Structure 1
């Protein structure tokens, strides 16, 4: 019998014996077990080590091995995983929550947190029909190309601008995964990454998970300040900038036309990549949407990220990276290492969805609904909490960026709001370093409608009073 099978057999025997004992009971000694089961002392040592790692036993040098205390949760034995604190030491990711709660909210809580559409705003019927048609396509369940299906790559290229070709597109599993992949592909652990301040918390989480150091670049009403951006590149030697030029999360800012070319030029002069997160291109409120930075980029400075998730459904995890040159080959190589390809049925469903008139109708209806909700929430806040200052009424996106009055703490306000049945995001998590003042991000797309947003504002008035 091999050593591994002997160890597994002994572990099974000891588990059965442990089940009959109570915490604190002593197990047979190594000598007893070697004689009783005809195994070597090494096999006994390995078996005890495995059981200790599971939390089933505790070994006391010079005394023996004992049944460990049983931790229970709802009547179910829970192993002791405290040993993992030692095994994981040295890498504290501190990821937090990328963009709001991952699960559903309790009944009665009004959703002003997170970054997804309420079910009533999602094209549910069109999605179902698209998925049904996709499943009937020839070869729908075959392996997809690493870069993505050609028709879907062509769609993303056309959305980005006439200068982008399908060969510049890599289909991804949504925007967040693409963000993480791009950061890890470009910058080595320990490197600086320049980010707007404030910025999307999911980008900060992805950067820190990749071992990068986020360095803030201040913004004003026209977006990223090119002068301070150039200073940040010079001081840090960074080779990577992450920004959201269109309907910035959380502020709603649109990078001014005069600055759009200048920001790209500053990055190019520094020999750096500019990662353009274009998550909100389909979330405009009815006005013109600026041309993507990548559309005017000729030398591969801009890496463009986009996704169908935000304007459609949280579960339509389909996005794209647009890049040119060696960096695209590197990204394709990472795709092969990580997951080979994006599930073909989902890609086929995305093609079906965006190729029908129903998609255009959905985007027009969504634009109107977002504008109405944005206005409704802004008016309700002005009425109920007039000392809260809305930074701007955004022309796109899903959120209002609200400054609290002096002396108010964002975390305490968020906790008080939750106690009164409103979930929102405290502003400090959007800053890569100390925030200059106190902010909240309030979403208007995840609630059921304008009436619920008005009720949320009334609850916030009570919560704000209780917090004082």
Structure 2
């Protein structure tokens, strides 16, 4: 058993014991805990330190560990926050309560034994943790590691993002951001006035819908098919709404995994240009391909600033590597820089330095190659298991990149009811309704094949999903 799992097990035991004690009662000594539970002194020390940090116990050197006073632990009498109802009056909660975390943010801890197929991140064993640690250590040793960073970001990092985009993109076109979600929020606020329409693919990333609504924008759905967004309907939507902003994910779309067809890529940009609108290209999954060719970003072939490009390192690396970039040309970049100076001045330099270190080493390329192999294997395992266990669920086309399978459910099977039933059977999944800006045309489920510990867990998850589905019929 690993140190972390031993600590969690001991913590659970001690929390139950403390719940039955009175404030001031003394806990067993460290020596007694080691002998009673068969753990090491480091595990005991970590567990006691965690309980002390939570305010559950207090430690007295030379005396022992005691149950903390109840008020110090949690405060039995909650404060009165009713005054906030008046202070927040006039702010429509619907514009800011949309929950991006429902689909892609940090999920609530699932019950023990649950196979996670929800969320939008890699399992820890797919993340380059060793390379990340080494990069952060090297970055910390730089003499200027804690100096103020430029508002637009470190020059070497901007150059790396520019090279990744290709075409005529240069470092001067790059603004380093704190991940993709913050960049979306900043961009929506910078480009469109509150009350304006925002065209989005339907379905789309729920975090984009949440950021749009928080900025006061009105998401307007544009239907997609197996080749991505339809240019004819996009042109109709621009004409009908007068929108000046279109958000899309042309490569390994979330949630469907679709890649915008080659014949449509120029058409979509041309439609936006003709409308005098910006096209926001969310390229979050460029490093999540499964080993095949990945098309050039739209921004690589755009010379007049129609395309505003977003990218991020959080998906292929780690949720805590909150480093991304916006690529833009013209006055919109100057506006984004002005917002940066209002919002947060600059992105923490040590994290930028660590990103430069990570992306500049052979370890990053090795990680991306091994990640592509792992994602391809996991995608095939889950798709095959679902086809065997649930043949009436529809997977239109296995994705060539990304982290998810997007499945249409049989008529009469509600996605929310299914996800609740799945949770009771030990599987966490995302209901499809959260990915639509308006009424869903059908019921869907999104499954993350990269969140489980091992590929074998995906086969078990498919079996549990079948059991959950049959329990509802």
**How would you bin the TM-score normalised by the shorter chain?**
0.7 to 0.9
- Structure 1 partner of 2:143: 138
User: Of the candidates 163, 168, 172, which is equivalent to residue 163 of structure 1?
Assistant: 168
- Structure 1 partner of 2:318: 313
Q: Give runs of aligned pairs for residues 73-222 of structure 1, distance below 5 A.
A: 76-90=76-90, 91-92=92-93, 93-98=96-101, 99-100=103-104, 102=106, 103-222=108-227
SS in 1 for 2:281: strand
- Structure 1 residue 242 corresponds to structure 2 residue 247: yes
Q: Is the 8 A contact 2:227 2:260 kept in 1?
A: yes
Shift of 1:405: 0.4
Q: Is the 8 A contact 1:72 1:78 kept in 2?
A: no
Change over 3 Å in CA distance of 1:352–1:115 after alignment to 2: same
User: Of the candidates 406, 414, 417, which is equivalent to residue 412 of structure 1?
Assistant: 417
Q: Is the 8 A contact 2:393 2:407 kept in 1?
A: yes
- Structure 1 residue 225 corresponds to structure 2 residue 230: yes
User: Of the candidates 383, 390, 394, which is equivalent to residue 385 of structure 1?
Assistant: 390
- Structure 1 residue 345 corresponds to structure 2 residue 350: yes
Q: Deviations over 1:260-286 (max 9, x none)?
A: 000000000000000000000000001
Shift of 1:82: 2.4
Q: Is the 8 A contact 2:105 2:120 kept in 1?
A: no
- Structure 2 partner of 1:65: none
Q: Is the 8 A contact 2:378 2:449 kept in 1?
A: yes
What is the Cα-based RMSD across aligned positions, in Å? Answer: 1.4
Shift of 1:101: 5.2
SS in 2 for 1:81: coil
Q: Is the 8 A contact 1:100 1:425 kept in 2?
A: no
- Structure 2 partner of 1:355: 360
SS in 2 for 1:389: coil
Shift of 1:75: 5.3
Q: Distance in 2 between matches of 1:199 and 1:336?
A: 30
Q: Deviations over 1:399-445 (max 9, x none)?
A: 00001001110111111111111111000000000011110001101
Shift of 1:467: 1.6
Q: Whose Rg is larger?
A: 1
- Structure 1 partner of 2:12: none
- Structure 1 residue 394 corresponds to structure 2 residue 391: no
Shift of 1:148: 0.2
Shift of 1:138: 2.0
User: Of the candidates 280, 287, 301, which is equivalent to residue 275 of structure 1?
Assistant: 280
Q: Is the 8 A contact 2:104 2:207 kept in 1?
A: no
User: Of the candidates 282, 287, 295, which is equivalent to residue 290 of structure 1?
Assistant: 295
Q: Quick check: 82-91 or 442-451, which moved more? A: 82-91
Q: Deviations over 1:133-160 (max 9, x none)?
A: 0000120000000000000000000000
SS in 2 for 1:381: helix
SS in 2 for 1:196: strand
Q: Distance in 1 between matches of 2:87 and 2:396?
A: 45
Task: Could you tell me which runs of 5 or more consecutive residues in structure 2 were left unpaired when the two chains were aligned.
Answer: 1-70
Between the two proteins, the alignment pairs up a number of residues equal to 398
Q: Deviations over 1:298-321 (max 9, x none)?
A: 100000000011000000000000
- Structure 1 residue 423 corresponds to structure 2 residue 407: no
- Structure 1 partner of 2:66: none
Q: Deviations over 1:87-116 (max 9, x none)?
A: 212221232234345244332111111100
